Amino acid sequence: MSGNLLQTPIEYLKGVGPARAELLKKELGIFTYRDLINFFPNRYIDKTRFYKIAELQRNSSDVQVVGKIVHLKTVEQKRGKRLVADFIDDTGRMELVWFRGHKWIRENLKLNTPYVIFGKTNWFNGMFSMPHPEMELASDYKNNLRTAMQPVYSSTELLAKKGVTNRVMMKFIQEALKQTGFRFSESLSDELISDLKLISKSEALFNIHFPKNQELLAKAQFRLKFEELFYIQLQLLRRNLLHKRKIKGFNFDKVGSNFNDFYQQHLPFDLTDAQKRVIKEIRSDLGSGAQMNRLLQGDVGSGKTIVALMSMFMALDNGFQACLMAPTEILSVQHYNGLVELCKELNTSIYLLTGSTKTSKRKEIHEKLENGEIDILIGTHALIEDKVKFKNLGLAIVDEQHRFGVAQRAKLWKKNIVPPHVLVMTATPIPRTLAMSVYGDLDISVIDELPPGRKPVKTVHRYDSNRLKVFRFIREEIEKGRQVYIVYPLIQESEKMDYKDLMDGYESIAREFPDFQLSIVHGQMKPADKDYEMERFVKGETQIMVATTVIEVGVNVPNASVMIIESAERFGLSQLHQLRGRVGRGADQSYCILMTSHKLSEDSKTRISTMTATTDGFEIAEVDLKLRGPGDLMGTQQSGVLNLKIADVVKDNDILKAARAYASALLKEDPDLSLEKNAVIKNSYSRLMKNKTIWNYIS
């Protein structure tokens, strides 16, 4: 099928015209014939099957039944009347009900004559009934030409109001398909089609709109989902490949005294197998001659910091500097203290640069950085200011990368003529499926085991009515010398209300524990006041920290063993998991208590039960993905990523893996798509790239 017809503006399609075209453009983003044909149904009404009355289920789905009407009666009700028919087949009896149009229906219905009825069933007074059924004489039904499964398209209020109903959409699509002669040029290679036993593009497009049966529908869906995911993966993997080819990186060819000395003499504990595996992956990237672009995922407490430090030692061993950028001052100070402690026996020079670094100190850092006296610089966004110049930055590590914009990261790259190697770290577990789509152009490493000796945090759910018992437990823990977090939700829209909740909570805790010291931290405070309160808690001067979610990232207080989350039903799963990760950092058993009211939605129940059942961040992220969908999980700025026409990265996980494997194998064999057998793929790929229909992914 020539692409030209498919590019025809939608107003030229029979029955559309300028006014309806405007509606289709504005409401559904349909501008051309191609857009219309790629506007796929979101469900189907299956008229391939006839049910017996005895087989009906109480699930309010649309069903089709053959039987006859044996009796008609009018029933008085509060407002007006209803017409009720007794409808039977050889297995049972049900009622058909009409609330309007009685006269016409009575005159036209035939008693004791077979009808095919279709509609939604209700269960009422021990019997099934069907209001306002679609009806057709069985004799007419046999003679009419129809597709057995009817497509249902998503619509909007305005379309319905202007008379663009589902039936009208079906007519438009039928007309567009007819004009194309049901022939579409193939977009996958013969090899892929035969390997995966796919139906042709033309068959797939016809059967996605007007499937003859369930089996053909399944084949059409598989074919179109595979194709969509295949081209996205092809783009991401190709971008990674071109990046490696085009952007040369420093070649760190030796592992020298910094790395070996630390590993052999000063490592405070044995590395887990996962840490060893990740260090190997990083080491092979750093020696490959191409710029490293790797995402390191690891749950809270899995030991990403040690991996980061050992990667930095590889840079130092090859005569380069390294830097670590964190999103907040508190977190960068914590990284700094942690690394200084780990390197105290070594002569590594580590400096800290944040917004509150004094001017004189700043000047000293700028000078030492440029003449190479600083090995490792840790800091916040202050690292990317133009004044900050390295002598030779070889490795840049970005922590909690989703908090930095792409532009901010790009500034780090520009610190050298040859861009430094980049390691992006996150403690927010991203499900494998999503990582493949969102960070598909980064290489991914995962630390998926916790260091030995870490006790999993015990998580329990308590209702508000058990509050006194919870207070008793807090007192017992503090008397053992431990510290406690009590966290309140903070949701932007209702900040005033949340602030009141927080202050009420603070006052009731102060009344309950007059003999303990309290800290309070919330978003309305000045950064300096926040840091002061945090500092008091870190030093153990206060026993209870009352806070909003500002403490979710990164603060390490090994002595804090209890995390109480108030109104836990108002938090998302990943937030609950991040908050729980604030405790369980010392050797003692730690606890996380989720407090909720008795009124919980189904989703809230799922979140709470997931939290109490597992501490595995990846498992939690999978549940979160199912509950919230991919767009929400990645935050709004990244939801466009998954603006997919037919595939769903959660439900079609297996198809996504297959698509990635095939795209990867194809590029291994033919990185430039220059082989004759891949000409079809190259053409489709170029067209998609030109029309920007492969969504430009992040990173």
Looking only at the bridges linking them, the beta strands covering 421-426 and 483-487 are unpaired
Rounded CA-CA distance 585/566 in Å is 21
pLDDT for 221 beyond 70? yes
Q: What is the pLDDT of residue 638?
A: 38
pLDDT for 696 beyond 50? no
Q: Give the range with max mean pLDDT: 185-199, 208-222, 415-429, 479-493.
A: 185-199
Q: What is the pLDDT of residue 431?
A: 75
Q: How confident is the model at residue 641 (pLDDT cuts 50, 70, 90)?
A: very low
237-275: per-residue pLDDT in tens? 888 888 888 888 889 989 999 999 999 999 888 899 999
Long-range contacts of 186-194 (CB under 8 A, 24+ apart): 186/680, 187/227, 187/680, 187/681, 187/684, 188/227, 188/230, 188/680, 188/681, 188/684, 189/677, 189/678, 189/680, 189/681, 190/677, 190/680, 191/677, 192/230, 192/662, 192/681
pTM of the model: 0.68
Lowest mean pLDDT among 211-215, 500-504, 606-610, 633-637: 633-637
Q: Which amino acid is at 187?
A: S
Q: What is the pLDDT of residue 242?
A: 83
Q: How confident is the model at residue 692 (pLDDT cuts 50, 70, 90)?
A: low
pLDDT for 403 beyond 80? no
Q: What is the pLDDT of residue 499?
A: 67
Q: Name which residue leads in pLDDT, 613 or 496.
A: 613
Rounded CA-CA distance 94/129 in Å is 6
Q: Are 627 and 606 in contact (CB under 8 A)?
A: yes
- The H-assigned helical ranges of 7-60 are 17-28, 33-37
In this prediction, residues 448-456 reach a mean pLDDT of 79
CB atoms within 10 A of CB 435: 18
3-state secondary structure at position 365: helix
42-91: per-residue pLDDT in tens? 888 877 788 999 988 876 668 899 999 999 999 888 778 889 999 999 99
pLDDT for 308 beyond 90? yes
Among 83, 111, 87, residue whose Cα is nearest residue 99: 83
Give me the count of residues in the chain: 699
Rounded CA-CA distance 539/554 in Å is 16
Q: Are 70 and 96 in contact (CB under 8 A)?
A: no
Q: Are 284 and 253 in contact (CB under 8 A)?
A: no
Rounded CA-CA distance 536/548 in Å is 17
Rounded CA-CA distance 510/488 in Å is 15
Q: Are 483 and 540 in contact (CB under 8 A)?
A: yes
Q: Give the range with max mean pLDDT: 386-390, 398-402, 634-638, 681-685.
A: 681-685
Mean per-residue pLDDT of the chain: 86
- Those residues whose C-beta lies under 8 Å from the C-beta of residue 574, and which sit 6 or more positions away, are 428, 429, 620, 621, 624, 633
Phi, psi dihedrals of residue 96, rounded to the nearest 5°: -110, 140
What are the CA-CA distances from residue 294 to residues 3, 8, 281, 425, 627 (Å)? 39, 43, 9, 9, 28
Q: Are 115 and 85 in contact (CB under 8 A)?
A: no
CB atoms within 10 A of CB 585: 19
DSSP assignment of 647-672 equals --TTTTHHHHHHHHHHHHHHHHH-TT
In this prediction, residues 214-223 reach a mean pLDDT of 91
DSSP assignment of 193-238 equals HHHTTPPPHHHHHHHHHS-SSHHHHHHHHHHHHHHHHHHHHHHHHH
CB atoms within 10 A of CB 100: 12
pLDDT for 109 beyond 80? yes
Q: What is the pLDDT of residue 165?
A: 87
Q: What is the pLDDT of residue 699?
A: 31
Among 262, 245, 217, residue whose Cα is nearest residue 42: 217
SS3 annotation, 432-468: HHHHHHHCCCCEEEEECCCCCCCCCCEEEEEEHHHHH
Lowest mean pLDDT among 153-167, 247-261, 367-381, 434-448: 434-448
Question: Is residue 386 within a helix (H) or strand (E), and if so which, with residue range?
Answer: none
Q: Give the range with max mean pLDDT: 215-229, 320-334, 396-410.
A: 215-229
Q: What is the pLDDT of residue 680?
A: 95
Q: How confident is the model at residue 644 (pLDDT cuts 50, 70, 90)?
A: confident
324-348: per-residue pLDDT in tens? 998 888 788 889 998 999 999 898 9
pLDDT for 405 beyond 60? no
Q: Name which residue leads in pLDDT, 489 or 224.
A: 224
Lowest mean pLDDT among 9-23, 135-149, 261-275, 469-483: 135-149
In this prediction, residues 422-428 reach a mean pLDDT of 86
Q: What is the pLDDT of residue 549?
A: 72
* Domains delineated in the chain: 48-145 (2.40.50.140), 257-286+302-426 (3.40.50.300), 458-614 (3.40.50.300)
- Those residues whose C-beta lies under 8 Å from the C-beta of residue 572, and which sit 6 or more positions away, are 607, 624, 628
Question: Is residue 315 within a helix (H) or strand (E), and if so which, with residue range?
Answer: helix 304-317
Rounded CA-CA distance 136/156 in Å is 29
Q: What is the pLDDT of residue 187?
A: 93
pLDDT for 135 beyond 70? yes
Q: Name which residue leads in pLDDT, 679 or 299.
A: 679
